[in-house]
Amino acid sequence: MTRGGASARSGGMTLPGGQRPVAPQYLTLRDRIAEGIETGKMAPGARLPSERQLQTDSGAARGTIREALFQLEAEGLIYRRDRSGWYVSPPPITYDPTRWAGFMSYVAEQGRSPATVTLSKDEVPAAPAVADIFRVAPGTRLYVISRRRSIDARPVLVERIIVDPKLAPGLFEHSLEGSLTQVLTERYKLSVARNRVSMRPCALVKNAADQLGVKTGTPGLEVVRTSFDAAGRVVEYDWEYWRHDAIRIHVDLNVG
């Protein structure tokens, strides 16, 4: 199957007498743009014609144009840049949430260019829910790190990571612009034996959307990961908001 499901959306059902229903106009436009992406006529990163140009070329109403674009965005085929227009989405990276592999490593392994910007780093008292996760008393001081991560210079996720200072004292003295996994492994000799991961589709809230340069409500993926060492201690608690078109989940499991 092609990346966006090709043009099968336009039909398939047959009416009495052998006639096919007429596809809504926005789906016809959606299929035309999707075909251009699938066949390589519009390469990843290419800018789509403006909404005004699409309206002129197709004769469709402005609302129809936007319905088609929103459909393509929901499928991950295109994305918006604020005040710039619509662009063809780059291929998503493959992400295995069960691995304790750093973002910098697994993105680079796939031939892409990762980057990290630290937005904030603080030591704050643990709220009751977080304290329960770390099995510490409410109010215990924990490290909280917020970062934005990019692939090929395109912001794709924002994350909030919590680490117990008792396991990584002086963590903020190290650079957090690279791989936190590497810092925890090499500097503090920590390792992960088990990951607990939950994922759900979401609409990006204002703070995450602003950090990623998209509109509030843009489709996203929320990933929450709790990483444990062999003794059952929480090494890190990571809360991520991804652009939904930047990631493909892949898990390789042994069965039996």
Each domain of the chain, given as residue ranges in start order, spans 8-88, 93-249
Q: Coil, strand or helix: which one is 250? A: coil
Q: Which two tokens stand for residue 111?
A: 């031939």
Q: Give the helix ranges, DSSP H, for the chain.
A: 25-38, 51-58, 62-74, 103-109, 128-134, 180-188, 206-212
Instruction: Out of 3.30.70.940, 3.40.1080.10, 1.10.10.10, 1.10.3210.10, select the CATH number for domain 8-88.
Output: 1.10.10.10
Provide the pLDDT for residue 139.
97
Domains 8-88 and 93-249 share a fold: no
Find where tokens 């910007």 sit: 117
Domain 93-249: give its CATH architecture. 3-Layer(aba) Sandwich (3.40)
Task: Report yes or no: 199 and 157 within 8 Å, Cβ to Cβ.
Answer: no
The Cα 162–Cα 224 span in angstroms is 11
Task: Identify the pLDDT of residue 244.
Answer: 87
What pLDDT tens digit does each residue of the chain (256 aa) get? 345 554 444 445 555 665 555 568 888 888 888 988 888 889 988 999 998 988 888 888 888 998 899 888 888 888 887 778 888 888 888 888 767 677 888 899 999 999 999 999 999 999 999 999 999 999 999 999 999 999 998 899 999 999 999 999 999 999 999 889 889 999 999 999 988 999 999 999 999 999 998 888 888 999 999 999 999 999 999 999 999 888 888 877 767 6
Q: What is the pLDDT of residue 23?
A: 64
Prediction pTM value: 0.77
How far apart, in whole angstroms, are the C-alpha atoms of residue 234 and residue 66?
Answer: 45
